Structure formats: C-alpha cells, structure tokens
Amino acid sequence: MSFMTSIPLPAQTVLLLVASNVFMTVAWYGHLKNMATAPWYVAALLSWGVALFEYLLQVPANRIGFQQAGFSVAQLKILQEVITLAIFVPFSVLYLDQPIKLDYLWAGLCLVGAVYFVFRGA
C-alpha cells in the first residue's frame, strides 16, 4: 500500500471504507441472488470468506481515520453509514434487481443531516 502514502489521510480513510463496504455489501447480500437455493450455512461460510476482505480494509481505515486523520469515532461511524447507503442502493437496484424507492432519498437526506451535525464543530 505504498502508493497510498501520497494520498491525504482523510482520503485514504474514505477510499478504504468504500472498498471495505463493497466487500461488506457482497458478503451480506450477494448470497441472496447467487446462493438462494444453497443451505444457509454454506452461504454463511462463503459470506464469512468475503467479509474477511472487508475487515482487512475496514480496520486500517478506522485506524488511519482515528489515529492519523483526526476523525472522531462518531465521524467515522457517520462516514461509514453514508458510504454504506451509497454502495447499497446501486447494488440492490443493479445487482439484486430491487426497485428504486423514494425512501432511499429520504434516508440519504437524513444522513446528510447526520453528517452536518457530526462534522459541524470540526
């Protein structure tokens, strides 16, 4: 990850959280399409395998964000939630063929408010 050293620490945090969230979303929801007929424990084991990569990215992201980039724990959590929604909505619509809902917009607006309140003193 030496190329990461040229990227500002807050951006490193966000990029690692985005990448980890892709793995998380696939681990949590990908089996609903790919393994719908497989026993749940097979899907769980496969999901754990995918989730390992999530943790290999998420743990350094939170460490960099908290210890070096100066994010508070609350700010890291809100960033994670915003990224989760930004990854989950396209995944559910494009991959799982779920209809897009106006509720996604309302949820996003609530997160914009959360971002404002958590970062306003920073």
Q: What is the pLDDT of residues 49-101, one digit of tens each?
A: 999 999 999 999 999 999 999 999 999 999 999 999 899 999 999 999 999 88
Q: How do the domains of the chain map onto residue ranges?
A: 2-119
Tell me which H or E stretch contains 54. Answer: helix 40-63
pLDDT, tens digit, 9 for 90 and up, residues 11-32: 999 999 999 999 999 999 999 9
**Contact predicate 89/104, CB 8 Å:** yes
Tell me which H or E stretch contains 23. Answer: helix 9-25
- Has residue 1 got a pLDDT over 70? no
